[in-house]
């Protein structure tokens, strides 16, 4: 496990039982949450953290569930360390699907395992395990929404969706033939031959009036995950009376945005989480 310190060595806890600390900031890289080499996370802990006031942000990278790395979220981590200084940030890798295995729902299972690790280490790292926000980009957003809507013990207070797929059948039908072949392999069938899996893997159909507050951000020129998927999610959240925000970025494509729009998106996410994670 690599360890990078952003300050001096952390001080000991005060020991008063309230979680009050004099801890300095720490960046702890490549922490294993499982036995597979890809089951790793980077942990960014803020200074002066406590078991009551320090919130948690879990981030997941994109890559169509078959590629990508937590390093892809470096700009988001850097932004949120500044914009959300009272958050412990967890940036996750998960097992990627290959021709030899790790097919769906391996990635969601890994997220559940990582989530359990984060919850069980709250005292060790010092943060409030009941004040969690989670989100990601593209496939990472898809996984985050599934967790927040479908397997939430009440500790997840908000979800962040950066151009994530919300309806897997619709995504399959939108995609070109080569992408359809990959999706059919990944999902162990097509929407016709394995309809139940496509429905269960679609966050759109898990939305209810008890869903967590959600912020959605999407580029209007996205030709990988069509923006109408975010339109559908936003409409369903609004119809269910769920607190939400939806921001469209004209002309932006999938996953590669201008520096100005990226900064604007991160600022909007931080403001949304400040409002709802409490």
Q: Is the pLDDT of residue 18 over 90?
A: no
Whether 135 and 37 map to the same domain: the answer is yes
Longest dimension (CA), the chain: 61
pTM of the model: 0.92
Sheet holding 2-5, edge to edge: 2-5, 26-32, 40-45, 87-92, 55-60, 132-137, 156-162, 214-219, 244-249
Q: Which of 2-11, 139-148, 181-190 has the lowest mean pLDDT?
A: 2-11
Whether residue 60 sits in one domain with residue 138? yes
- Quickly tell me which residue has 């069509």 as its tokens: 226
What pLDDT was estimated at residue 8? Answer: 28
pLDDT at 144: 98
- Residue 239's φ and ψ, nearest 5 degrees, are -65, -30
Q: What is the pLDDT of residues 181-231, one digit of tens each?
A: 999 999 999 999 999 999 999 999 999 999 999 999 999 999 999 999 999
Note whether 173 and 86 are same-domain residues.
Answer: no
Q: How many domains does the chain have?
A: 2
* pLDDT band at residue 20 under the 50/70/90 scheme: low
Q: Is it the case that residue 4 has pLDDT exceeding 50? A: no
Confidence band for 22, pLDDT divided at 50, 70 and 90: confident
| 254 phi/psi in degrees, rounded to 5 | -80, 110
Range of the domain at 191: 168-201
24 with 63, same domain: the answer is: yes
- Are 140 and 209 within one domain? yes
Residues 6 and 125 in one domain: yes
- Per-residue pLDDT, averaged over 236-262, amounts to 98
pLDDT value for 13: 43
Average pLDDT value for residue range 41-55:
98
Collect all residues with Cβ–Cβ distance below 8 Å to 82 and sequence separation of at least 6: none
85-129: pLDDT as tens digits:
999 999 999 999 998 999 999 999 999 999 999 999 999 999 999
Among the three residues 201, 224, 250, which one is the final residue of a domain in this structure?
A: 201
The CATH number covering residue 263 comes to: 3.40.50.1820
- Same domain? 111 vs 26: yes
Instruction: Note whether 266 and 225 are same-domain residues.
Output: yes
- Judgement on whether residues 99 and 86 belong to the same structural domain of the protein: yes
């Amino acid at each position: 496990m690599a360890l990078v310190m952003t300050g001096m060595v952390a001080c000991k806890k005060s020991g008063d039982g309230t979680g009050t600390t004099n801890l300095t900031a720490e960046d702890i890289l490549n922490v294993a949450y499982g036995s597979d080499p890809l089951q790793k996370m980077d942990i960014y802990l803020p200074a002066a953290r406590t078991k009551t006031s320090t919130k948690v942000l879990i981030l997941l990278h994109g890559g169509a569930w078959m590629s990508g790395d937590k390093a892809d979220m470096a700009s988001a981590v850097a932004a949120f360390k500044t914009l959300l200084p009272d958050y412990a940030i967890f940036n996750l890798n998960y097992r990627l699907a290959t021709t030899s295995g790790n097919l769906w729902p391996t990635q969601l299972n890994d997220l559940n395992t990582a989530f359990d690790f984060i919850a069980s280490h709250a005292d060790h790292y010092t943060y409030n395990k009941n004040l969690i926000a989670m989100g990601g980009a593209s496939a990472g957003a898809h996984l985050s929404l599934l967790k927040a809507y479908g397997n939430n013990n009440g500790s997840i207070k908000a979800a962040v969706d950066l151009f994530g797929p919300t309806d897997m059948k619709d995504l399959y039908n939108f995609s070109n033939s080569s992408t359809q072949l990959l999706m059919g392999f990944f999902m162990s069938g097509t929407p016709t031959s394995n309809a139940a899996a496509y429905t269960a893997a679609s966050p759109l159909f898990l939305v209810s009036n008890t869903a967590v507050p959600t912020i959605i951000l999407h580029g209007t020129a996205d030709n990988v995950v069509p923006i109408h998927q975010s339109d559908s999610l936003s409409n369903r959240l609004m119809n269910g009376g769920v607190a939400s925000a939806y921001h469209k970025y004209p002309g932006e494509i999938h996953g590669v945005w201008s520096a100005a729009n990226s900064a604007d998106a991160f600022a909007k996410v931080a403001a949304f989480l400040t409002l709802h994670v409490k």
